Amino acid sequence: MAELPKAPRRVKSDDENMEKIHAAARKGNLDEVRRLVEVGVDPTLANRFGCTALHLACKHGQVDTAKYLTRVGDVLTSWHGQKPLHLAVLSNQLPLVQALVDGAHTAGRSIDAQLNECDEMALTEVGGRPKPCRGQTALHWCIALGDDYLPMLRLLTRLGASPTAKDRDGETPLMRAMEFNNSAALEAMLQEVKPSALRLDFLDAQGRSHLHWAILSNEEQTALQLLEMGHDPNVEDNEHIAPVILAVRGALVRLTAKLLEIGDPFIVQSAPFHNGTTMMADRIAWLPYVAARERATEPEALRLLAQDKQQVIQLMQEKLDSINRSFSGTGDEDGGTVKKKKGAPGAGAKMKLAPSAPIRSKSTSKPRLAKK
């Protein structure tokens, strides 16, 4: 049986050199780091936790040292779950991140993959908010950490970080910005990146699209903007819930009207809010932010909420009536009258069926033979 190759043995001199270059990088002693590299010390030497000189330079904000180390060595290891770029971003030093990018370009290496790479940190909260996460990109971090990291977010997007790069749970920075109600970050990402560079078709682990996230986060204007950018209005999540269903449940009048205008009529037919012909308000499970509006104490706020609810119900009823007219032959989906030729089949009265009722075809079975 062939023996497995053995890992290279670590010698004492390696540990000594590692300690020297690590200490110099931590302090930002560029002359000492350069001298050690020139005499043959490997700049990517890592300790048993994966920490290299570049990790330490980024951790402690040593810009010039980090730029030099990026040029002379490609670090692929993680230190406590994070790569050098993540550490540089968390330090919130724009020159440090720019130095890493410049150093990689000087060495002829692409930085794009690193800009969109997830770290390996499993968390239960991010930015002081409960959020289970198994690993996220630098943009995700900037969004969670708030307004102080907005300049860093803008720099990352200009350098090539994608607002639709997924974290390890399938959620994108755009989704995270909507979830955390970080409107400044959301606006910045949509401004900095061309729509053609965004993967708006990406879904999270529950099959929810960016449009689903916008509605669930009460971001009606963002949802309308996503539709203008070409987002699919009919995409359903893993529970077969389409955006228009959520828009009704959110009492979002403008968005409901738009989705009913451009969406698939079958989604309206199969909606759980009606009995086939009539909308039934008691079947609508309003979203949490609608319930929050119901707890308002100002009469005007309650009046506006009741008005929004009534309007989305009326919009759905009008669309349902239009669909039923098209099925019954008395009108088209736009409310127009359908004229039939005299004597044409079906010119008489027709039985009205619920939109979801199956239409039985004529029997094709053979006639029974008479008993002899």
Nearest 5°: CA angle at 277, between 324 and 329?
20
The residue written with tokens 């010119």 in the block is 347
* Predicted local confidence at residue 70, as pLDDT: 94
* Predicted local confidence at residue 12, as pLDDT: 59
- Confirm whether 152 is domain-assigned: no
Domain end among 94, 112, 130: 112
- Confirm whether 104 is domain-assigned: yes
- Confirm whether 191 is domain-assigned: no
- Confirm whether 32 is domain-assigned: yes
What is the distance between the alpha carbons of residues 260 and 316, in angstroms, rounded to a whole number?
8
What is the distance between the alpha carbons of residues 197 and 95, in angstroms, rounded to a whole number?
26
- Confirm whether 268 is domain-assigned: yes
What is the distance between the alpha carbons of residues 142 and 92, in angstroms, rounded to a whole number?
9
- Confirm whether 78 is domain-assigned: yes
What is the distance between the alpha carbons of residues 192 and 156, in angstroms, rounded to a whole number?
10
Domain end among 112, 144, 163: 112
- Burial readout 54-66 (b: 16 or more C-beta within 10 A, e: otherwise): bbbbbbbbbbebb
3-state helix, strand, coil in the chain (%, to 5): 50, 5, 45
Domain end among 88, 112, 136: 112
The CATH number of residue 108's host domain is: 1.25.40.20
- Residues of the chain with pLDDT below 70 are 1-13, 329-372
Q: What is the CB-side half-sphere exposure of residue 32 using CA atoms within 13 A?
A: 14
Range of the domain at 101: 13-112
- Confirm whether 329 is domain-assigned: yes
The number of domains in the chain is 2
The residue written with tokens 């529970």 in the block is 239
- Confirm whether 236 is domain-assigned: no
Tell me if 284 sits within 8 A of 273, measured CB to CB.
Answer: yes
